Amino acid sequence: MERPVTKDDLAFDHVPETDQSFENALAKANDGDRLTVDDAIELLTTGTATDGIDRRRKELVLEAADRRRADVVGEEVTFVANLNNNVTTACNVGCLFCNFKDAAHTFETGSEVDTAGFTKTPADSREIVSDAVSRGIYEVTSVSGLHPAFALDDEHREILESHSDPKAVNYIPPERYETSPGTYAEQMGAMSVDGVHVHSMTPEEGYHARRGTDWSYEEVYGRLADAGLDTVPGTAAEILVDEVRDVICPGKIDTGGWLEAMEAAANVGLGLTATIMYGHVENEAHRALHLKRIRDLQERVDGAITEFVPLSFVHQNTPLFEHDVVSGGASTDEDELLIAVSRLFLDNVDHVQSSWVKYGDEQGLKMLSCGADDFMGTILSEEITKRAGGEYGEFRSFEDYVEMITSIGRTPVERSTDYDSQWVIDPDDPPFGPELGPKADGSPLLTREERSERAVLADD
C-alpha cells in the first residue's frame, strides 16, 4: 500500500524564512512599531535562523504582548453571557479538520444509516433560545453545517426549486429530510427572542445563502440583518492562504471569497469577529500572512472587527489526524506565541480572545498574560470541539468566571457582544449573574438543579 500523504510532503510556496532578525522584530514590537509579515514570522518561530522554539526568547515575546495588552485594554478581563445554538450538523463540504459535520444523506427520510447528528426547526431554536434568555443570556451564537435544504428565505427557495440542476448548487428540497431547518431568515427570526443579540452566519454560511443566484453578499447580509441577525462570527477563516485551504478545506470558499463576504457584512452595518484555526498543516509564514489579511481587512471595514479569536486545532477525531496527514495539534509554546503575536501584530483590533473550549481553564488563564484579554462566554452548549475530541466541557458560570479571573489578579467584566456595554463585577458582592441584556436581573445563570448537579459531579 502507498504511504499516505503527510504534512512533510506538502511543498508550500510560503515557508518561514526571512531576512529579518529576531532581535529587530522584537525591538519593533517593544517600540510599538507596526510589524511586517517577516517580523511576525521571526516572533512566531523565536527566530528563523535556529531550529525549534527558544524558551528564553519566547518569554520575551510573551512579555511584550502582555505589556501591549495592558496598554491597550488595561487589567480587565471580559466575558459574555451567551448560548451556542447550532442549528444542524448536516454538511457535505467535507473539511478535513472537522468532525462536527454529518453526511447530509443520513438525514434523509428512509436513510439506511441512522444519523448521528441533529437538525433543529425554527420552532426548536425559538424554544431553546427562549429558555436560555430566561436564564439571563443576551447573545446567541449559531454556526451550522451547510444543510442542502437551507435557503436564505422564501424567494431564494423559489429560485433553488426552479433551478435546472438543483444538485449542482447543493440544494435538496426539505421534503426529503426527516426535519427541515427552514430558511436562514426564519432561523434568525426565531432566535431573536426579546432583543437577544444574534451572532451568526459565517462567510461560508453566507455563501450557502446565495448559492444559485447572482445576489451580492450585501444583498444576503442585508436580508439577514432585516430578519434579526446582529453580528457575524468570522469562522470559516481557518488559514487565509489558498495553498493551505486547498489541503484542509478544498470545498470551502477561498480567501478572496471569505474577505468579500466579511466586507459586505460590514458594509450593511453588521459587526464582525475574526478567527484563525491553526496547528494543522500550516507553517508560521501562513500564520503571519493570515494576520496581515485580517489587519488589512480591519482597515477596510473601518474597525468593525471587535475581537480576534485564535482557535487551536483539536485533532483527535478528525480526518487530518485519522489519515496521518498530521500527528497532532499545536504545542503549548506555539499556542502562547500565536496569542502573543496576534496581540502585537493586530494593532487595530482591541480584543484577543482566549478560548477555554480550546485551551481549558488553566492554559486559558495563562493566555490572559500572553496578550489575550477576553475569556469568551458561558456558551451552555458546545458541539464542534467536543465532536473533534476536545474535553474542556460546555459551559462556565459567572461564578466560575469571577473565581478564575480574580485568581490571576485581574478584574472580571461582563460585556455585550460588541463590547459597547461593560459591567465591572465586584468579586466581594455575590451573587454573580448577568446584568446586561434583555432579562438582566443579577440572578445566577444556572438553575438551582444544575448547580447542585454540578456540586455532585465535583464531589465524585
Ligand X SMILES: N[C@@H](Cc1ccc(O)cc1)C(=O)O
Ligand Y SMILES: Nc1c(NC[C@H](O)[C@H](O)[C@H](O)CO)[nH]c(=O)[nH]c1=O
Q: Which of residues 414-453 bind ligand Y (CB under 6 A)?
A: 417
Pairing label, strands 351-352, 231-232: unpaired
Contact 122, 147 (CB under 8 A): no
Taking the C-alpha atoms of residue 188 and residue 225, their distance in angstroms, rounded to an integer, is 9
User: Would you say 45 or 84 has its CB closer to ligand SAM?
Assistant: 84
Binder among 102, 205, 334, 335 for ligand SAM (CB under 6 A): 205
* Chain residues that interact with ligand SF4, rule: CB under 6 A: 91, 93-95, 98, 100-101, 145-146, 204, 249
Our finding on whether 235 is near ligand SAM (CB under 6 A) is: yes
Q: How far is the CB of 417 from ligand Y (least distance, A)?
A: 4
Which one of ligand Y, ligand SF4, ligand SAM, none interacts with residue 388, CB within 5 to 8 A by kind? ligand SAM
Our finding on whether 170 is near ligand Y (CB under 6 A) is: no
Contact 346, 295 (CB under 8 A): yes
Our finding on whether 355 is near ligand Y (CB under 6 A) is: yes
Contact 46, 56 (CB under 8 A): no
Ramachandran category for residue 279: left, alpha or beta (phi over 0 → left; psi -120 to 50 → alpha): left
Our finding on whether 233 is near ligand X (CB under 6 A) is: yes
Our finding on whether 313 is near ligand SAM (CB under 6 A) is: yes
Which one of ligand X, ligand SF4, ligand Y, none interacts with residue 145, CB within 5 to 8 A by kind? ligand SF4
Query: If you write DSSP's letter for every residue of 274-328 in order, what string do you get?
Result: EEEEESSS--HHHHHHHHHHHHHHHHHTTT-EEEEEEEE---TTSHHHHTTS-S-
In sequence order, which residues have a C-beta less than 8 Å from that of residue 153 and are 6 or more positions away? 183, 184, 185, 186, 223, 227
Residues making up the chain, counted from first to last: 460
Q: Which of residues 383-442 bind ligand SAM (CB under 6 A)?
A: 384, 388
Binder among 20, 144, 273, 416 for ligand X (CB under 6 A): 273
Our finding on whether 98 is near ligand Y (CB under 6 A) is: no
User: Would you say 273 or 378 has its CB closer to ligand X?
Assistant: 273
Taking the C-alpha atoms of residue 321 and residue 330, their distance in angstroms, rounded to an integer, is 13
Q: How far is the CB of 384 from ligand SF4 (least distance, A)?
A: 8
User: Would you say 42 or 204 has its CB closer to ligand X?
Assistant: 204
Residue in 405, 451, 414, 404 with CA at minimum distance from that of residue 435: 414
Please report, as a single letter, which amino acid is at residue 345.
F
Binding site for ligand X (CB under 6 A): 141, 143, 199, 233, 235, 273, 275, 309, 311, 384-385
Binding site for ligand SAM (CB under 6 A): 91, 97-98, 100, 143-146, 202, 204-205, 235-236, 238, 275, 277, 311, 313-314, 318, 384, 388
Binding site for ligand Y (CB under 6 A): 80, 82, 84, 139, 141, 199, 273, 307, 309, 311, 353, 355, 357-358, 376-377, 379, 382, 417
